[in-house]
Each structure stands twice: as structure tokens, then as C-alpha cells.
Amino acid sequence: MPFSDVLHASLPAMEYPAAHETTTTDWRRQLPVLTAATVTLRELRADDADSLFELLTTEEVARFISPPPSTADGFRRFIQWAAIEQAAGRYACFAVVPAGTDTAVGIFQVRQLDAAFDTAEWGFVMGSAYWGTGIFAQAAPMVVEFAIDWIGVRRLEARAAVQNGRGNGALAKVGAVREAVLRQSFARHGQHYDQHLWSILADDWKAARSARTPQVH
């Protein structure tokens, strides 16, 4: 998770979008609102900072991600940075909002790995109280669909520390393919960890989607 990219950035003042359904098809201007039975994914807002700080900075949650901001103000800076990167067409970050609430309890993000956004990396993190609730299972496919159908990503990559059984299991369940072990590729608290490299190809995803769609004759 690229939190560390923004902790010391110098950021201009930004205006944040109101919480409403998007009316544009250009994701760089405004992200679509993606909804399933248990969760809504929407654009981050400045007022999400407090809940994200509370939920994503516990040791249990932060153990296998890049260090999150250490203050609520740091999360506000991250949200501001995300808006700038989205407008530039390099990055998209959704707030994870459980159904029936308007509280952000995590994030899903997609960032470009090449100039054309042909290859991208996605990542996710949620407060531990929401693990095992089915939110990830419903949210993750919507993020993959967004990356492939809205951005045009051909190859979507993810990394998870080998010791992160929950994260690796989640990626396997969503249909990602484990390709390799990246040795000592992740550093946390002075320790270096191996990571699994996972991928989803747009061609594979679309073929599986077609197979699931009933054919009308």
C-alpha cells in the first residue's frame, strides 16, 4: 500500500466531491459509485480521515502494509494526494463503506505501473472488525471490473507478504493467479519479508465473466 509516497508531499488546497452518484464516465474527474449488497465503494472524502486513522493504524491491520500515516491529518494529506493523482490519471482509490452507513472502514486502490496504465497494481486494507464479513468478497470483483472496464488495465498485479495468510487467501478467492515469490521485497519494522506476486489478466477475467453469464438464444 503506497501510503509512504505522500507523507512528506507538499500539496495544494483541494476541493472534495460531495457524496452522490457520479454522472460522468471519466473516472479521472470522479470515480463511479460501486454498490453491492453489503458494501459501497465511493470516492474518498476529507472527512474519511478520522475513521481511516482509527481503523487502519492498529498493529494487527498495519503489520503487512507500508506504514500508514501516523495521524488523522496524515490521512487527510493522503486523501488530498489521491485526488491529485486521480486527476492526473495515475491512481484511483475507493473508500470501503459498509451498507447502511457512510463510514469509511478501508480502501481499495489501483495505481499505474506503466505510462499507458496497461499494467497496474491493486491493493486493499480494511479495519479488522470488518474481516470475514463478506465485504471483501463483494468489493474486490467490483474493483477488478473497474480497473479492466473503466481504466482499460490488461494486467492487474498484487503483492502480499508470504506470512499474510489472510491477504493471500483473499487474492486466491477472487481469482488471482500466484506467479512468483519476490524475495525480501517488503520491509517493515527493520525486517525484510518475501512476498507472493499475484496477477489477474483482463482476457482471463472477461472469459470467466462470459462463462458465468447465461446465454440467451
Fold type of domain 25-212: Aminopeptidase (3.40.630)
Q: What is the mean pLDDT of the chain?
A: 89
Distance CA 102, CA 95 (A): 10
pLDDT above 90 (res 7): no
Q: Distance between CA atoms of 159 and 185, rounded to whole angstroms?
A: 10
Strands 119-126 and 106-112: antiparallel
Using pLDDT thresholds of 50, 70 and 90, give the confidence band for residue 3: low
CA distance 133 to 185: 30
Q: Give SS3 for 201.
A: strand
Q: Which three cell numbers stand for residue 206?
A: 472477461
Average pLDDT over residues 21-43: 86
* HSE of 11, CA atoms in CB hemisphere, 13 A: 21
* Alpha-carbon Rg for the chain in angstroms: 17
Phi, psi of 29 (to 5 degrees): -80, -40
Confidence check: pLDDT of 15 > 50: no
Q: Over the stretch 157-199, which tens digit does the pLDDT of each residue have?
A: 999 999 999 999 999 999 999 999 999 999 988 899 999 999 9
DSSP 88-120: TTSEEEEEEEETT-----EEEEEEESSTTSSEE
The pLDDT score that the predictor gives to residue 25 is 73
Q: What are the C-alpha distances in Å from 107 to residues 49, 69, 170, 206?
A: 11, 14, 15, 24
* Per-residue pLDDT tens digits for 54-91: 999 999 999 888 889 999 999 999 999 999 999 999 99
For residues 74 and 46, give the distance between their C-alpha atoms in angstroms, rounded to a whole number.
Answer: 11
Cell of 157: 498485479
Residue 29 has pLDDT above 50, yes or no: yes
pLDDT at residue 10, as a whole number:
37
Instruction: Enumerate the domain spans of the chain.
Output: 25-212
φ, ψ of residue 200 to 5 degrees: the values are -130, 125
Digit-coded pLDDT (tens) for 82-116: 999 999 999 999 999 999 999 999 999 999 999 99
Output the pLDDT for position 1.
46
Q: For the whole model, what pTM was predicted? A: 0.87
pLDDT given at position 130: 96
- Asked if pLDDT for residue 17 goes beyond 70, the answer is no
pLDDT at residue 5 greater than cutoff 70: no
Of 217 and 80, the structure prediction assigns the larger pLDDT to: 80
> Cα–Cα distance between 27 and 39 in angstroms, integer?
20
